[in-house]
Structure 1
Amino acid sequence: MSESRRCGLVAIIGRPNVGKSTLMNHLIGQKVSITSRKPQTTRHRIHGILTRDDCQIVFADTPGIHTGQQRALNRAMNEAAMSALSDVDVICFMVDSDKWNEGDEHVLSLLARAGDIPVILVVNKVDRLDDKAAMLPLLDKLNQRHDFAEVIPVSALGGHNLDVLEQALVSRLPEGDFWFDEDQLTDRSLRFMAAEIIREKVVRQLGQEVPHQVTVEIDLWEDGPRVTDIAATILVERRGQKKILIGDKGERIKSIGTQARRDIENLIERRVMLNLWVKIKAGWSDDDRALRSLGYDDSRQS
């Protein structure tokens, strides 16, 4: 073991759509977790890996913790998020600088489970505030509710103060050798990443037209001499959702495929032939067995 090196696990938690995936992607310097303006875009606990000369931070980007667990999918996402609180070295609790709601309150109440794990309060989107002093009442209130190791204002999207956050994390990591190769960015497979890229394009294009009852399965992955052939199925729950997803004369699914193919080519650094299919799998998002078969179980890594 190299005593001069540090390595450890950092959990990023918060309510849905607070910027957790954006923060991790910008810290690492490359897109690992998919993003959109739609809440609950992240569904799995995804490990992103940031390696410097003398340290390696393994981030657990989690689904947004939210109240109400009526559907099996919501329960699976909350379980993935809460499991990130165990056996980590540092927790980043992320909140908006100008917004506090019951979702934030719920996550704050769960921090009692963290025990003696240091929690850094990461206040996001400070670039939106003309008067930075406007967030002081919120910070005072939160400091009275939990003994935060540090409070760091950032702009995840703009990159403001991320170097300060990185140093705060590194200083709290244990000494030890790196867990992953220095050029590795995530512990997820390329197939998983490709499926997530396709799902991101669906979520971004459709907005509120098709709710979260959409998931993606990779059916074929063949690396040829010059081109990688990939076939994927987009699963929806109702016939109307399938019709919206395909679009008039197939234009919507074609656009999704074009955007996804470009990102996958950037990911694997070779040409891709991508074929997308849309199928109906009624009730998959409220079926525990179906969710396990689709990979919504963080005890198994895709």
Structure 2
Amino acid sequence: MSGGLIPTAAPEFRSGFVSIVGRPNVGKSTLMNYLVGQKIAITSPVAQTTRNRLQGILTTPQAQIIFVDTPGIHKPHHELGKVLVQNARVAIGSVDVVLFVVEATSAAGKGDLFVSNLIAQTKGPVVLGINKVDQLPESGRKAAEIKHSYEALAAEHGWSVVKFSALTGEGIENLQTELVAKLEPGPYYYPPDLVTDQPERFIMGELIREQILLHTREEVPHSVAIAIEKVEEDKNITRILATVNVERKSQKGILIGKGGLMMKAISTAAREQMQKLVAGKVYLEIFVRVQERWRQSRTRLSEFGYKVEK
């Protein structure tokens, strides 16, 4: 995630911001990680994992695309949910191109239509990206039904369609080509070797949160907020101190686990990911603290980095 000098772009060079939008769990974060060639967004089998508008940067000889990964658009159930959906709406209206991601495993449903109505209000170009084509049956009535439902949706709004798999990489080159074609000529916004505009501490916190989601699944779903309290670097090791904030004592018990085994497993897995991030040894210490109903408090949300986009 280093950043050097920003070069001067050639006249034909294209650049701009692309918002990745869709329902929860359609593979938006997996797609962004694949596009930038590095893990910067957390992926998990649990829906609604993306919270902040994470920006991934892809620079090729022809273009620089800044991807804005938004939370899955859903009906919010608490203040955190409201903040996330509001931020996703802002992301749709403030970019050059919208990439609307759906999944090839099922036909367009109510959730997709809700998102498409939001996107339809934007003035800019939209690409409908059909993800998970590796899981789509090649023929048969179901495959035809799915294909027709998305093609009809795209035709209604005049959107172009690209099919791909964020997992295998199939069709990703076509997707990139389509997105670049929709961008205007423009400058380099970031140094070419930068893959995200997020500070390293934010990524560290996300790596811990990902392991909590993977290890605890639905038991401690989205009631966690990570604070990286301290990062000390010397030439041999990076020492990281983190606090995991939960809403209830029972969640604290689940996270620590019997004899501290759950926290040990989470810490070990997060530390391994962090070592790739900093390209060196990491010592990670995690504390768990109860902050009751933090997701309902605008003050706490702001403290933990969840600010409302205007």
Establish whether residue 118 from structure 1 lines up as the match of residue 125 from structure 2: yes
2:212 counterpart (188, 202, 218): 202
Query: Partner letter of residue 266 of structure 2?
Result: I
Alpha-carbon RMSD: 1.4
1:82 counterpart (89, 100, 109): 89
Q: Which residue pairs with 2:68 in the alignment?
A: 60
Q: Which residue pairs with 1:193 in the alignment?
A: 203
In 2, distance between residues paired with 1:140 and 1:258? 45
State percent identity of aligned pairs.
Answer: 40
Establish whether residue 136 from structure 1 lines up as the match of residue 136 from structure 2: no
Q: Which residue pairs with 1:38 in the alignment?
A: 46
Q: Which residue pairs with 2:4 in the alignment?
A: none
SS at match of 1:113: coil
Q: Which residue pairs with 1:27 in the alignment?
A: 35
SS at match of 1:80: helix
Residue 45 of structure 1 contacts residue 298 of structure 1 at CA under 8 Å; is this kept in 2? no
SS at match of 1:207: helix
In 1, distance between residues paired with 2:227 and 2:182? 38
1:102 counterpart (104, 107, 110): 110
Query: Partner letter of residue 223 of structure 1?
Result: E
In 2, distance between residues paired with 1:39 and 1:267? 25
Instruction: Please state how far the C-alpha of 1:140 moved relative to its aligned partner.
Output: 3.5
In 2, distance between residues paired with 1:72 and 1:139? 32
SS at match of 1:289: helix
**TM-score when normalising by structure 2:** 0.92
Instruction: Please state how far the C-alpha of 1:54 moved relative to its aligned partner.
Output: 2.4
Q: Which residue pairs with 1:215 in the alignment?
A: 225
Query: Partner letter of residue 95 of structure 1?
Result: V
Residue 15 of structure 1 contacts residue 66 of structure 1 at CA under 8 Å; is this kept in 2? yes
In 2, distance between residues paired with 1:140 and 1:130? 17
Q: Which runs of 4+ in 1 moved over 3 A?
A: none
2:158 counterpart (125, 135, 147): 147
Instruction: Please state how far the C-alpha of 1:188 moved relative to its aligned partner.
Output: 0.3
Alignment deviations for residues 44-89 of structure 1 (CA, whole Å, 9 cap, x no partner):
110000011221110001100102x230110111122111112311
Instruction: Please state how far the C-alpha of 1:226 moved relative to its aligned partner.
Output: 1.4
In 2, distance between residues paired with 1:140 and 1:161? 17
Instruction: Please state how far the C-alpha of 1:144 moved relative to its aligned partner.
Output: 4.4
Establish whether residue 172 from structure 1 lines up as the match of residue 182 from structure 2: yes
Query: Partner letter of residue 88 of structure 1?
Result: V
Q: Which residue pairs with 1:73 in the alignment?
A: 80
SS at match of 1:249: helix
Instruction: Please state how far the C-alpha of 1:96 moved relative to its aligned partner.
Output: 1.0
Instruction: Please state how far the C-alpha of 1:145 moved relative to its aligned partner.
Output: 3.4
Q: Which residue pairs with 1:17 in the alignment?
A: 25
SS at match of 2:187: coil
Residues 225-264 of structure 1 mapped to structure 2, 5 A cutoff: 225-264=235-274
Instruction: Please state how far the C-alpha of 1:102 moved relative to its aligned partner.
Output: 2.4
Instruction: Please state how far the C-alpha of 1:179 moved relative to its aligned partner.
Output: 0.5
Query: Partner letter of residue 287 of structure 1?
Result: S
Residue 14 of structure 1 contacts residue 104 of structure 1 at CA under 8 Å; is this kept in 2? yes
In 2, distance between residues paired with 1:248 and 1:147? 56
SS at match of 1:65: coil
Residue 140 and residue 179 in structure 1: after superposition, are their counterparts in 2 closer, same or farther (change >3 A)? Answer: closer
In 2, distance between residues paired with 1:17 and 1:136? 20
Query: Partner letter of residue 125 of structure 2?
Result: P
Structure 1 unaligned segments of length 5 or more: list them: none
In 2, distance between residues paired with 1:275 and 1:101? 44
Instruction: Please state how far the C-alpha of 1:97 moved relative to its aligned partner.
Output: 1.2
Residue 34 and residue 2 in structure 1: after superposition, are their counterparts in 2 closer, same or farther (change >3 A)? Answer: same
Residues 289-300 of structure 1 mapped to structure 2, 5 A cutoff: 289-297=299-307, 299=309
In 1, distance between residues paired with 2:172 and 2:14? 19
Query: Partner letter of residue 105 of structure 2?
Result: D
Query: Partner letter of residue 42 of structure 1?
Result: T
Residue 124 of structure 1 contacts residue 154 of structure 1 at CA under 8 Å; is this kept in 2? yes
Segment of structure 1 superposing worse, 93-102 or 202-211: 93-102
Instruction: Please state how far the C-alpha of 1:131 moved relative to its aligned partner.
Output: 2.2
Structure 2 unaligned segments of length 5 or more: list them: 1-8
SS at match of 2:241: strand
